[in-house]
Structure 1
Amino acid sequence: MVAVRLLVILTLVTGANYILWRWLASLNWDAWWIAVPLVAAETYSLIDVLLFGMTVWRIKHRTPPAAAPPDTTVDVFVTTYNEPLELVMRTALAAQRIRHPHSTWILDDGNRAELRQLAARHGLGYVTRSTEWEGMPRHAKAGNLNNALMMTSGEFLLILDADQVPSPDILDKTLGYFNHHQVALVQTPQYFINVPDSDPLGSQAPLFYGPIQQGKDGWNAAFFCGSNAVLRREALMQLGLVGYVRETEKSVRRALDASRSAIRKARRTAAGAPELLQQTLDEVEAATLEARRRLDDGEPLSEITYRVRRRVDLAVQTVVQADLSALQSDLAEIAAMSAVEVGEAGVPVVTDDAIQRLSAHDWSPLGAIESVQAVLDALSVERTGEAQPVMPLATISVTEDMATAMRMHAMGWHSVYHHEILAHGLAPEDLGTMLTQRLRWAQGTIQVFLRENPLVQRGLSLGQRLMYFATMWSYFSGFAAVVYFAAPVIYLLFGILPVSSLSADFFVRFIPFMVVNQILFAVAGRGIPTWRGQQYSLALFPTWIKACTTAARNVWFGRPLDFAVTPKDRQDGGPRWALIRPQIVVSVLLVLAAIAGIGRLVAGMSEPIGTFVNVLWMLFDLLVMSILVRAVRYRGFRTDDSGEPDAGTIEARTERTANGPEL
């Protein structure tokens, strides 16, 4: 731990020394269009490595907890949509053999009669969506889990993906953490048995399911990863109730503020209006002010909304005269106003269209009153736009896990990362499936970042904010990668340097930073392989960029994400080179640029040191990209005739990881 912290401090010092010099003294302003993007990309990378340093600053090595009470009730959920029946049943039957007393449930979002029959034959619980979900938002896996929560009753939930086969002792080793009554989540690693040692698709993530999650655990920020986790039902239900109340209160506040704005605007046109109409405006405004005060005092929302609607209705009933021509125009405006829609958390909310029209339109006095009535009538504390009133797991993202964990942490709950492999899963066995999976992960993370930025979430500690932000920040690496690929190409083709010169000042700052950076990863990882992860963080730049842009369009403009479930079996067909077309283009450009750069050097058109550095840079970029050639050609893990991973391989891996993860 001392060595890690010393390296973090050295990384901070050398990195800050390099980046400050780059910004203040080294930029080639004649080529600002590449100089500024490059130093911005380097700054991004420094922030990224410092966030990693902060993560591993508090690596937590836990000791086994005391045993949980034997009468602790647990529901084991096996989630499935369209996975092969034999795969689902393999996991469900293994879950049935878990030693601690529990109930095993198959959560079939595909509503398959064959799976229902298999579950009944083996004495397994079977849950699918009820008729209440017809025509309602389904929320993918989060909706599947929320539906099952309302149909079961265990104190704790073990959530497993359809391919994650649990060990019989998974509950024996995790339930004891819940003796601490503030613990809401215990996450264990995800480990895959169908991955060769070379891991061509980068599936194992040993750095994440190791120092990173252990470091987050030290900051009480280890988060839910969607499977192989035990959660406290009480925490989830509290989360659902609090989230519902917050969204409803937010909608009521917006409606009341917009109503007051409309009434104030109407006063400008009320000069000379009958006194009765003036009094009605006063009464409506007083009703909204009183409702806002009651809201601040924490009174029940249903009573507040009922009272304000009742007072406004009574005020309108006293109006017996109005300017009918002005009113008819305003009534047409009101009719065109879409007053209510289903919000992100499933709560009916007053639409932005209604708020904007209320605030911006110059209403006649009676038209303003009628518009306020229309918006207040749209308010409801009932969840009419959802299949069920409470949604415990977050539905703001295509991945429910991170947002749910962050909300629990913000409410004061604790989490635990148990660093031991207690379930064995199946990783993608072709590049296309892997890209689908990584895209969904990244999209979900960016959705959470844009909707509930952890840096501004109430209830989170500073460490928790930064731990969540670190994961979200990492998915912006695609933009930095484009700059890192472009810079050497531009120099080798045109001789344009983004720095003022490649002098000794550059090397004495850059080299120490890079060396210390790599040593930090090596020491923090305690010998685990990290190179594959570094390759994919750069090589998958089109996927990361697509994730950021599509998630932003979804959050800001409501564009669909075209969500897809990751296939659990190998996709047939030969190598699909089209999947990496952008990377192929970049690689060809790098090679052509290197040839051109050497030619320019021979012709005396460029400096030897600049050419040498940029050719080395180009070779590093090609080395990073080379993993994609293996990934495209990868034909899946070696299997025996039954289609299962070789028994000898599984036995050897299980033996190596019996006392902890193979990380």
Structure 2
Amino acid sequence: MQPTGKPAKLFWVRLLVVLTLLAGVNYIAWRWIASLNWDAWWIAVPLVAAETYSLVDVLLFGLTVWRLKTRPAAPPAPADATVDVFITTYNEPLDLVMTTALAAQRIRHPHSTWILDDGDRAELRELAAANGLGYVTRGADWDGMPRHAKAGNLNNALMVTEGEFLLILDADQIPEPDILDKTLGYFNNRKTALVQTPQYFSNVPADDPLGSQAPLFYGPIQQGKDGWNAAFFCGSNAILRREALMQLGLVGYVKETEKSIRRALSASQAAIRKARKAASGEPALMQQTLDEVEAATREARRRLDAGESLSEITYRARRRVEQAVQTLVLADVSALQSDLAEIAAMSPVAVGDAGVPVVTDDAVQRMAARDWSPLGAIESVQAVLDALSVERTDEAQPVMPLATISVTEDMATSMRMHGLGWQSVYHHEVLAYGLAPEDIGTMLTQRLRWAQGTIQVFLRENPLVQRGLKLGQRLMYFATMWTYLSGFAAVVYFAAPIIYLLFGILPVSSLSTDFFARFIPFMVVNQLLFAVAGKGIPTWRGQQYSLALFPTWIKACTTAAANVWFGRPLGFAVTPKDRQSGGPRWSLIRPQIVVSVFLIAASIVGIGRLVAGMSEPIGTFVNVFWVVFDLIIMSVLIRAVLYQGNPAAVHPDGTDSVNETSIERAVRGPQL
């Protein structure tokens, strides 16, 4: 274990957190109350809002590192613990997958190694068999069903394997032979559901031009979250307890089924109310039947609220409706024929994101809007209730343990496990070596997917209102989601100096002593907090990309919102594990280039205005300094576009992909 988070360090971290809180609140309160230039409110208010966002961001970081946790070595692994090692793959090169699989096969603790091939490739099946590896792919029961990408692949494998614990590895993550020896002992605590280890990339040069290593996240941030029992699953290099996942799947299935039953009953009651209006002249028997069906739906809702068995509720409701229909001997056949055609076209039930059948919006709208004949309304209720059976033996994975509400399955899964009372562990030691993107296009695709998935979770299952989570856990998950809103703040930070230097419009009332006396202490303690919390690790690259990738963060927020609120597809792309061909792709950073041009032009104009006596020296100096800082931030993208991979990294097949020393460490024996 790396000895971070010692008591002395923790003291200084907490002191700086308190100072950051005091200085930050002092500055932001003064900004809102006394410094706004209301004549230019259209930039003054966005700027102070962006600064407020940044204060919340740094305070959430401070709260995270408040409980930096240093764990001693794990107890010895239980010798009888059964483990399945899952290597997930879709279309990665076969030699890359097999290199990881053979390394996994050599893990010392007894285990079974499985290749989970979502590409269903015959050649990979043959290679697995030839090397004594397990091979799993989707069966015919998945045809026509939502596949849910990696989450669906893992859920499928869960149903055909038996290990008590699961080590999940991406296709490029080569494990150390002792990875299980150093982590399984944490599961001696029966409440531990997850042990996450860092993701480290062996093909990244020392200057890390694409910001792949994330040492701040896989260091103080995860260690801090661990102190709040909120270290979360990062998709790979993690060990999970099967029992926790299966409980998660069953609880999720019950919750989603209950939601769907409530929708079905609401739709049924709407249809009956419509039919009652049209049945004023119908025989008394028809009126009695409608009363009986409506009473059946009310009774079902009462039982739902009382927490009774879902299968019993749906069974009783269906039986009462069937009996009511059987008592009818008179019906308007011509009206019923029209209604039956509507029912046939209704498709009342579809499979939702969680793999659970749900009453469709189409069915709800049709049932609520149509003027039904009395018997047609009853038949529509019967159709929905019959389709919404709780027992579903003919569907692909009706129980989905890993969350499928997002294009990234990891965060939502661990958040749900924490909500059920399970615990997690962050083991701060590199035990697997992977491949980072080797070009900016692949990097942007990867970062966009991560951000989209996080925002999807935020919009669908906001941790601040999730039942079962403790306050600290809520804030730890929220902190990660909050960071992806930084793209909007970045736009304001770039715009403010441009507006001043071009037009002389200052968003603050004046750059007085009061301003600097509050602003400078806040910035100093803010940077000191990051420096002390991240002592010994490079954090500057991460700070650069948090601002420089503002178009990616904005796109992630808008596309994820469109997906969650309006159902627009996101698409899903597996991150390529090899370098993409072609020269520098400047078009990928066009928005940043445009902003940089404006920053440079604004500086030239601003200096010209100063020479001509049209602006204040202090204001010009401050904003030119601000522009220089922004340009330094943006400069990381120049190196990123020109970066064509690490020539010192050598893959076993001869391509420049994997650092040879990491292969020698992780793979002992013959390779493909």
Q: Could you state the TM-score of these two structures normalised by the residue count of structure 2?
A: 0.93
- Which residue number in structure 1 is paired with residue 178 of structure 2? 169
Q: Separation in 1 of the partners of 2:143 and 2:658?
A: 43
Q: Measure the CA separation in 2 of the matches of 1:587 and 1:485.
A: 9
Q: What is the match of residue 122 of structure 1?
A: 131
**Aligned counterpart in structure 1 of residue 558 of structure 2, from 545, 549, 560:** 549
Report the counterpart of residue 457 of structure 1 in structure 2.
Answer: 466
Aligned to 2:18: 9
Structure 1 residue 499 displacement after superposition: 1.3
1:185 CA displacement = 0.3
2:168 aligned with 1:159, yes or no?
yes
User: Following TM superposition, by how much is the alpha carbon of 1:355 offset from its aligned partner in structure 2, in angstroms?
Assistant: 2.4
- Equivalent position to 2:100, from 91, 111, 131: 91
- Cα displacement (A) at 1:336: 5.2
Per the alignment, residue 256 of structure 2 pairs with 247
Tell me the distance in 2 between the aligned counterparts of 1:493 and 1:364: 70
Q: Deviations over 1:247-301 (max 9, x none)?
A: 1111111211332344345445544543222211221121112222332343332
Residues 379-390 of structure 1 mapped to structure 2, 5 A cutoff:
379-383=388-392, 386-390=395-399
Matching residue's letter, 2:502: L
Q: Please tell me whether the aligned partners of residues 136 and 385 of structure 1 are also in contact (alpha carbons under 8 angstroms).
A: no
Q: 1:254 to 1:651 in 2, by over 3 A?
A: closer
Distance 2:589 2:659 in 1: 34
- Tell me what 1:150 maps to: 159
**Cα distance in 1 between the residues matched to 2:473 and 2:399:** 26
1:299-338 superposed matches below 5 A: 299-322=308-331, 334=343, 337-338=346-347
Corresponding residue for 1:621?
630
Bigger CA drift: 537-546 or 308-317? 308-317
Pair 316,615 (structure 1): closer, same or farther in 2 beyond 3 Å: same
Q: Give the length in aligned residue pairs.
A: 654
Distance 2:585 2:271 in 1: 59
Work out whether residues 348 and 385 of structure 1, in 8 Å CA contact, stay in contact via their aligned partners in 2: no
Aligned mates of 1:196, 1:599 — CA distance in 2 = 42
CA distance in 2, matches of 1:14, 1:576: 42
Residues in 2 aligned to 1:402 and 1:180: alpha-carbon distance in whole angstroms: 22
Question: Partners in 2 of 1:579 and 1:97 — Cα distance?
Answer: 41
- Give the whole-Å Cα distance in 2 for the aligned partners of 1:473 and 1:499: 26
What corresponds to 1:660 in structure 2? none
Correspondence list, 1:355-374, <5 A = 355-359=364-368, 363=372, 365-374=374-383
Bigger drift between 361-370 and 631-640 goes to 361-370
Alignment of 1:421-436 (within 5 A): 421-436=430-445
Whether 1:474 aligns to 2:483 is yes
Aligned to 1:112: 121
Shift of 1:431: 0.7
Q: 1:247–1:226: structure 2 CA closer, same or farther, 3 Å change rule? A: same
CA distance 1:508–1:649, shift in 2 (3 Å): farther
Q: Structure 2 matches for 1:46-65, cutoff 5 A?
A: 46-65=55-74
In the TM superposition, 1:113-512 aligns within 5 A as 113-322=122-331, 334=343, 337-359=346-368, 363=372, 365-383=374-392, 386-512=395-521
- Preserved contact between residue 649 and residue 657 of structure 2 (Cα < 8 Å): yes
Deviation of 1:329 after TM superposition, in Å, equals 6.5
Is this contact kept in 2: 1:200–1:634, CA < 8 A?
Answer: yes
TM-superposed deviation, 1:91: 1.0
Aligned with 1:564 (options 573, 576, 580): 573
CA change 1:224–1:647 in 2 (3 A) is closer
Is the 1:347–1:383 Cα contact (8 Å) retained in structure 2? no
Name the residue aligned to 1:658. Answer: none
Query: Percent identity of the aligned residues?
Result: 82
Aligned 8 A contact 1:350 1:378 in 2: no
Does the 8 Å CA contact 1:348/1:384 hold for their aligned counterparts?
no
**CA distance, structure 1, for counterparts of residue 631 and residue 661 of structure 2:** 32
Q: In 2, distance between residues paired with 1:503 and 1:82?
A: 59
CA separation of 1:24/1:404 partners in 2, compared to 1, >3 Å: closer, same or farther?
Answer: same
Change (3 A) 1:453 1:587: same
- In structure 2, how many angstroms separate the alpha carbons of the residues matched to 1:183 and 1:75? 17
**Distance change (3 Å), C-alpha of 1:488 and 1:132:** same
Question: CA offset at residue 449 of structure 1?
Answer: 0.9
> Take 1:143 and 1:334, find their aligned partners in 2: how far apart are those partners?
32
**Residues 456 and 560 of structure 2 are in contact (CA less than 8 Å); yes or no, is this contact kept in structure 1?**
yes
User: Which letter does structure 1 place at the counterpart of 2:322?
Assistant: D
Tell me, in whole angstroms, the C-alpha distance in 1 between the residues paired with 2:117 and 2:369. Answer: 48
Q: Deviations over 1:494-514 (max 9, x none)?
A: 111111211112111111111
* 1:62 shift after superposition: 0.5
* Letter aligned with residue 631 of structure 1: A
Q: Is 1:42 paired with 2:51?
A: yes
Q: For the residues of structure 2 that align with 1:63 and 1:233, how far apart are their CA atoms?
A: 25
CA distance in 1 between counterparts of 2:340 and 2:109 reads 64
Given that residues 94 and 165 in structure 1 are in contact (C-alpha distance below 8 angstroms), is that contact kept between their aligned partners in structure 2? yes
User: What SS class does the counterpart of residue 507 from structure 2 fall into?
Assistant: coil
Inter-partner Cα distance in structure 1 for 2:350 and 2:122 = 35
| Partner of residue 5, structure 2 | none
Q: Is the 8 A contact 2:196 2:427 kept in 1?
A: yes
- CA distance in structure 2 between the partners assigned to 1:652 and 1:224 by the alignment: 27
* Contact 1:236 1:393 (8 Å CA) reproduced: yes
Q: Deviations over 1:328-368 (max 9, x none)?
A: 66556545544222111111111123224444556554443
Cα distance in structure 1, aligned partners of 2:33 and 2:340: 61
SS in 2 for 1:78: strand
Distance 1:91 1:393, change over 3 A: same
The DSSP-based 3-state class of the residue aligned with 2:86 is strand
Contact 1:284 1:311 (C-alpha < 8 Å) held by counterparts: yes
Say if 1:263 and 1:369, in contact at 8 Å, map to a contact too: yes
User: Greater shift after overlay, 579-588 or 305-314?
Assistant: 305-314
What is the alpha-carbon distance in structure 1 between the residues aligned to residue 634 and residue 292 of structure 2?
69
Amino acid at match of 1:469: F
Supply the AA of the counterpart residue of 2:379. E
SS of 1:616 mapped into structure 2: helix
Per-residue deviation at 1:387?
1.7
Q: Distance in 1 between matches of 2:585 and 2:393?
A: 46
Q: Choose 223-232 or 298-307, whichever is displaced more.
A: 298-307
SS of structure 1 residue aligned to 2:88? strand
Give the Cα–Cα distance (whole angstroms) in 1 for the partners of residues 515 and 491 of structure 2: 22
Change (3 A) 1:648 1:266: closer
Any stretches of 5+ residues in structure 2 without a counterpart? Answer: 1-9, 667-672
Secondary structure of 1:186's partner?
Answer: strand
Q: d(CA) in 1 for partners of 2:558 and 2:161? A: 39
The one-letter amino acid paired with 1:305 is T
Distance in 1 between residues matched to 2:618 and 2:115, nearest whole Å: 63
CA RMSD of aligned residues (A): 2.1
Contact 1:639 1:645 in 2 (8 A): no
Cα distance change, pair 116–370 in 1 and its aligned pair in 2 (3 A) = closer
Aligned-partner Cα distance in 2 for 1:35–1:383: 58
In structure 1, which of residues 590, 595, 600 is the aligned counterpart of residue 599 of structure 2?
A: 590
Are 1:605 and 2:622 an aligned pair?
A: no
**Amino acid of the residue matched to residue 151 of structure 1?**
V
State the secondary structure of the residue aligned to 2:212. coil
- For 1:645 and 1:566, how far apart are their aligned partners in 2? 14
